[in-house]
Amino acid sequence: MIDELVKKIQEKDAPVVIGLDPMLSYIPEHIVDEAVREKGETLEAAAEAVWQFNKAIVDATCDLVPAVKPQIAMYEQFGVPGMAVFARTVEYCGEKGLTVIGDIKRGDIGSTSAAYAAGHIGTVKVGGRVLRGFREDFVTVNPYLGTDGVKPFADVCAQEGKGIFVLVKTSNPSSGEFQDRLIDGKPLYEHVAEKVNEWGEGCVGACGYSAVGAVVGATYPQQGRVLRALMPKAYILVPGYGAQGGKGKDLIHFFNKDGLGAIVNSSRGIIAAYKQEQYAKFGAGHFAEAARQAALDMIEDIRNARK
């Protein structure tokens, strides 16, 4: 899967992932109204609005980018109907040829992490049949529980040809509270990075990168430079571009000299582009075209920064 992702990034010359994090406030009123007219003021209506919104965004951008990253919390908040639309979105994006990174940030004791891994990137067995709960290609994983919380995911990656991105240095303002604290003279995130190398040893693809990657926020470019060097074989998923403050020029150090090694996420900045002054001319009726233009601009920004 890491080989496939790298191939798509090269073919499209776009190390960019669109974050499908559809808060209701991002969705144009006419879509929400239509869903409510059809299904009442229900969780089902919210889920339907999310689905219609996602579908339009994906249709308008799937030729431009290699991957999407649905943030499961934005679906989970609407309960079971929300989870059904998460599953539907993952499957639809797969059919459109996109690599799907489930931003689930799971992580638990061994047997429980194994269940999460089975459900999202692996298989479960019911009677004699092998089934899939959800169908992401990659998921994000929280490392706080250490090796036995992460290894079950890495094992499934090796078996199923899937991948993970382990949280190393997150993009949020308070990420330093624990992650930056010094342990034996090095910040915690560097210790986690060393483990990422270890966890990923057994699943390096033909492209030279491992199926075990890392999450490092665009909002911390200096740490990105250090972590890039520290994890030469880890693909870095970089959130925090755009709305969270990261810019193209902040990103150059997240890439290796081969021009690979990083994939940059933007969520709000693309999917809710029509709400920004720069793209307001599209209007809510053309939100998907606005998203397409924002994706094109982001791809261009990153291409220019890397020149």
Of the candidate residues 28, 70, 102, 149, the single one contacting a copy of itself (CB under 8 A): 149
- CA dist 288 and 61 (Å) reads 8
Examine residue 177 and tell whether it contacts a copy of itself (CB under 8 A): yes
Contact 262, 254 (CB under 8 A): yes
Find the shortest distance in angstroms from Cβ 244 to a copy of itself. Answer: 8
Examine residue 171 and tell whether it contacts a copy of itself (CB under 8 A): yes
Examine residue 80 and tell whether it contacts a copy of itself (CB under 8 A): yes
Of the candidate residues 181, 247, 249, 281, the single one contacting a copy of itself (CB under 8 A): 181
In sequence order, what are the residues at sequence separation of 6 or more whose Cβ sits closer than 8 angstroms to the Cβ of residue 38?
45, 48
Which region among 2-10, 92-100, 176-184, 270-278 touches a copy of itself (by CB under 8 A)? Answer: 176-184
Of the candidate residues 11, 41, 206, 277, the single one contacting a copy of itself (CB under 8 A): 41
Examine residue 131 and tell whether it contacts a copy of itself (CB under 8 A): yes
Which residue lies nearer to a copy of itself by CB, 132 or 286? 132
In sequence order, what are the residues at sequence separation of 6 or more whose Cβ sits closer than 8 angstroms to the Cβ of residue 142?
105, 106, 107, 149, 166, 167
In sequence order, what are the residues at sequence separation of 6 or more whose Cβ sits closer than 8 angstroms to the Cβ of residue 205?
1, 2, 3, 6, 211
Indicate which residue of 12, 55, 105, 186 is catalytic.
105
Examine residue 265 and tell whether it contacts a copy of itself (CB under 8 A): no
According to DSSP, residue 71 is labeled B
Give buried/exposed letters for 216-229 (b at 16+ CB in 10 A, else e): bbbbbbebbebbbe
Count of residues of this chain found to bind a copy of itself when the rule CB under 8 A is applied: 74
Residues of span 205-244 touching a copy of itself by CB under 8 A: 239
Examine residue 276 and tell whether it contacts a copy of itself (CB under 8 A): no
Residue carrying the six token digits 């060393």 = 194
According to DSSP, residue 124 is labeled E
Active site residue 7: no
Residues of span 46-75 touching a copy of itself by CB under 8 A: 46, 71, 73-74
Q: What is the set of active-site residues?
A: 105
